[in-house]
Structure 1
Amino acid sequence: MKRAGLGMVGMAVLAWACTGGPESLPPPSITGVEPATLPVNTKDDDITVRFDARYAVAVDYGTQKVDARMGSGRIWVDEEEATVTRFDPTGVAIATVPRGLGAGVHAVRLRLDDGREAVAREALTLRPPGQEGVDPPLLEDGGVLMASDAGPIFRCRDAGVDTEDCGDPRDAGPGPDDPMREGDITAYAFDAIEGTRMSRTSFAITVRAQGPRAGHFQGSLELFASRGTVTPTKIGPCDSGVCDATIVMDAPAGNVHLNAVDSFGVTGESNTFRLEPYK
């Protein structure tokens, strides 16, 4: 005899409904769309849609078997259906952005096989051809070269001379809010990128500033791949010298590495790792 039960598969929660129909289950929810910004109609770009969904599951305690009623799904960008190249019901779908969409902000819609839907409004921005993505302006960017230090200058009165003089002025040193100068950052170090990564599938990286004022760095970095492309091409602003980002690489199978550079020309290079085509 089959009885109702609960199970967990990846990020998706399996739940049995007494009626057995999809109407007894909550709708799915879209938790993220990566990348969030792409050029319009320049090539066939892919997006990764992450979602949470609950599914019906029946447990046969006699045979110790679980029948998880999970299927596939479809993706739309506005009213244009996208081609789904990979669908993992536990929470990840990869789809090719339809051609013909105009520049601007677009909604992403997910529909499961049982008819339940989720919509993420303003989830994808398509920028006009030739227009690069622009990050919000930074108050103090490591790429700005300052001719002099904004740190305070302290003078004192020399007891032997009736004028304000204590020899050379003494600089108290720059603080966390002072602009970065050339030489404050000497290099950038990537946290190890371990294992094999999949092309066109997002993953996280961390880049750390090094140098006398590494902990003060709050600027941005340009990213380059040794082969193929990396999106986004600029990460930041960093937080106390630590730059966390989620990126997507697109390159043929093989060994690759990443490079980071700031506006002063200070660079850093990741370890070499394997990139495989997405399946």
Structure 2
Amino acid sequence: LNSQGGVIDDLIVYFMDETWYRMVVNASTAQKDLGWIMEQVGVFGVEVLPRSDLAMIAVQGPKAIELTLPLLNEELREAAADLKPFSAVWDPSWFIARTGYTGEDGLEILLPEADCVALWNDLADAGVRPCGLGSRDTLRLEAGMNLYGQDMDETTTPLVSGLGWTVALNPEERSFIGRGALEKQKREGIPQQLVGLVLEGRGVLRSHQKLYVSDKQIGEITSGSFSPTLERSIALARIETGSPHGFDVEMRGKRLPVKVVK
């Protein structure tokens, strides 16, 4: 977070040991993140080592672990077989975490760039189908996962982005950048909230479409797409806190009803 409580990035930090943490940032914000981190670490005596020599392959889906395990060396295969969600195992070269950004089970594998193509080809030979950012974006939206730069950014706090659960305000003496801004927002009332939407009729919900109650605009879609799983159009939207759940989306000059879902 920045000092105003805005989200600089959403990322994963892995605990390796008491003196070593591994941080995986978004590629599009990597340089910004690194610059901010370097501004903060001076007083802590921390060494930051960017690993541009590594690549990542995310294997996601109900058969991800079953198809990936045979491709690992014996030591990693045994360790990864019982890997719990949000946990990781590693050797000097490879790092395997049971994490992902699809809402499905799966693994994220960090490995030397020189090994990446061989693993990709081995996965393909094992029956793992490649997919791009379009399918990943649809899956994360179906799972209700935020996308940085759309559903939150440096101008929005976690509290207005459906991410309050990621912020630990207790114990009270816990200090972090942006804490004061979040406490102030909680005291004064959180002005907006992030909700899930389903379009009642035909059409596709897209980011920046406006939401209305009668003639009053009460929010805007932040992410939207067609959901192959639900066979409906779905979205995330930021609306005024306390807005009634019966409202419309403006789409191509028309108002269509949308339903708020959990």
Q: TM-score, normalised by structure 2?
A: 0.29
Structure having the higher strand fraction is 1
- Which structure's relative contact order is higher, taking Cα pairs within 8 Å and 6+ residues apart? 2
Q: TM-score, normalised by structure 1?
A: 0.27
User: Quick check: which has more Rg, 1 or 2?
Assistant: 1
Structure having the higher helix fraction is 2
